[in-house]
Chain A
């Protein structure tokens, strides 16, 4: 996956740099194989974006971030758009008040147990919803552990 395609809020590890004129500069700011990079935020229209490399904030255009091949680090909360179907716990919602409110009405709040279907529909305690790609990418989830699933089942059965 290219650095330019990774959603905001995730942490990635650089795997490879492709040939380019700006390579020496990227290397010098610390964008190197093995280095962890966090995607901090995007400018209007999604380009350029700010990345955290070591402790510095570096702005790169998507056309420049494209030459960096990365792997998403797996044991971190990921945007719901990036995970396989299954049961997950909502860890954080990276959105403003408005989106948070709308999501909460679908039962998507921090700590909630949700199920992501094959067609990206979301099953929550409030029902089944199709919230769209944009909103879905703001919901960060971790795989649900066994006991969490059983506990929530208990609550539902009460």
Chain B
């Protein structure tokens, strides 16, 4: 027998940790129909039953305004699970219980779970479980995803709830509101949960307004008052329940609060964060570097054993192994970056950074949340495009996705290094610093442009909970890393494989020994006129063409065209122009594929290509002209 179980709760309540504890590794990530919010599901068998869990996006209310809220509400409304588990934070249960009351009004089969009970006990918070069950009229379980307490009991209760079908009594809002609810209930068709919709209508909910079919209802000032009155009623009820069922002793200030004061300090917070980030990046690259080198070495050896004397062996070694291998080699770096990010997110540090950076991001029409997403782009643009799915607002998400390619990623580093070595060997560090600053400026400008041209709309609200610090758990972080990283393997792997073969064919035919006559040389020479104002030769043009697949390929193309990297010649002005151009000219194929899959529309891919190409071209031309004037 399959029992579907929906997990509902406030954001940051530890719902995902509980989910991981319940289903272990047997989980998979898909998209909710029509939107790109991750739908996380998993199953586990327990006593002849299969428990199929669905981890719903964290919300505070079922009055839906954002995508996350709509998904959770629609899921509960249209495809109610057999059992709904509402996860409540034991340390501060009020807001979670508010959501519980809303879910109960849907008339679902509900179990209330007070999670993080171990933390609550440490803070001197105690619950009377039986009293809670009696007052709420539904099963209550005290659990800890951290220590595993109550997990078995929860599974038992899910099975028994499935058989018994508990339905709680509704909260009584008093004569005035109840009579209004009664008079509004007949406005909705039989297919709807009338009481839920009548209450939502009084709360001014848009969905409820759109579902009215049998009567006229005018919203005025007084209904707004009623909305507040309903919410007050719920909180009064919650407080009365908690005053009986919860004992609380005031906890002293802990070390963690003192640390938090420094970490979110008005002046010190940002510098501390930047140094922590630098350390984290440095650490992850140091850790992943030997693995990256090893992989590159292995792929090189593998290609060598195949040789490239015949058409087939050349296809396998030059095309598939070199092409796909050069991308696969970066997997350790990407996984290591997600590991660092996973630790920051699990510990509760990330929301605090979002809080610190919000003012700055706000002036770019983004929020603090997108800041962390964009930072990931310094590792790989694909990861920042994919991480953008964590942003709840659609406009903010699209903006973040579209400006991500201007963050100077890892793959561009070898290209800059090659150019700097050739043309600016005296001023290496300064040139490097300059190109990164330019990258940040370009990202900031693009965010304004995207918001002015492509997406117009209201500013995104920034109501965010600052969670408690938690000690990150390894199993949770590993799940986090794998869920995010495997996407890179799947999506980037398929497209890189395909393009690598195309690129290989263009260099191989018609004459494998003479590159001047190859198809790519013909393409390069035909496109040369576009780049004449920038002073690029056909080799550069062809390398840029290759580089559209993945930026690293520019280096290997240069090496092939000139025989080896040492023989590359570039005038400083051309070099500066080239670096500026490479910074943004077009997002690599993997990034474009990620943009396509994350936005679900080719429109944004086309915009991204055209916009980034033109802005880089103009900027490069500007650099070229200044350079010629100065020298």
Contacts and interface: CB of A to CB of B under 8 A. Distances in A.
Are A and B subunits of one complex? yes
Interface of A: 17, 19, 21-30, 32-35, 41-45, 47-48, 50, 53-61, 63-64
B228 interface: yes
Given A59-B462, A59-B466, A32 B65 contact: no
Interface of B: 60-61, 63, 65, 91-92, 94-95, 98-99, 203-205, 224, 227-228, 231-232, 235, 264, 266-267, 269-270, 351, 354-356, 358-359, 362, 368, 458-459, 461-467
28 contacts: A21-B461, A22-B65, A24-B61, A25-B461, A26-B463, A27-B228, A28-B99, A28-B231, A29-B60, A29-B95, A32-B228, A32-B232, A32-B235, A43-B266, A43-B355, A43-B356, A44-B267, A53-B95, A54-B94, A57-B465, A57-B467, A58-B463, A58-B464, A59-B351, A59-B463, A60-B462, A61-B461, A64-B462
Contacts of B355: 43, 48, 50, 59
A26 B355 CA distance: 18
B463 A21 contact: no
Contact of A32 (B203, B231, B359, B467): B231
Contact of B466 (A28, A34, A57): A57
Contacts of B269: 43-44
A28 B95 contact: yes
B464 A27 contact: no
A43 B359 contact: yes
Contact of A58 (B356, B359, B466): B466
Contacts, number: 117
Contacts of A55: 91-92, 94
B119 to A, nearest CB: 12
A43 B462 contact: no
Contacts of A32: 228, 231-232, 235
B469 to A, nearest CB: 11
B461 A33 contact: no
Please list the 3 inter-chain residue pairs (A to B) with the smallest Cβ-Cβ separation, ordered nearest first.
Answer: A55-B92, A28-B61, A24-B63
B464 A59 contact: yes
A27 B463 contact: no
Contacts of B354: 59
Given A24-B65, A44-B270, A29 B463 contact: yes
Contacts of A56: 92, 94-95, 465
- Most central of B91, B92, B204, B463 by chain A CB within 10 Å: B463
A24 B267 CA distance: 34
A44 B356 contact: yes
Contacts of B95: 28-30, 53-54, 56
Given A32-B228, A43-B358, A44-B359, A24 B205 contact: yes
A54 B269 CA distance: 25
Nearest to A49: B355
B227 to A, nearest CB: 7
A27 B231 contact: yes
Contacts of B203: 24
Given A43-B266, A44-B269, A58-B466, A30 B94 contact: yes
A20 to B, nearest CB: 9
A97 B369 CA distance: 32
A35 to B, nearest CB: 7
Contacts of B204: 23-24
Contact of B359 (A28, A45, A64): A45
A25 B392 CA distance: 14
Given A30-B235, A61-B358, A48 B92 contact: no
B61 A19 contact: no
Contacts of B232: 32-34
A45 B356 CA distance: 10
A44 B266 CA distance: 5
Contacts of A53: 95
A41 B462 contact: no
Contacts of A30: 94-95, 98, 235
A42 B356 CA distance: 9
A26 B61 CA distance: 10
B63 A28 contact: yes
A4 to B, nearest CB: 13
A73 B303 CA distance: 75
Contact of B227 (A23, A29, A34, A60): A23
A57 B467 CA distance: 7
Contacts of A44: 266-267, 269-270, 356, 359
Given A32-B232, A44-B359, A22 B264 contact: no
Nearest to B123: A55
Given A56-B92, A56-B95, A64-B463, A17 B266 contact: no
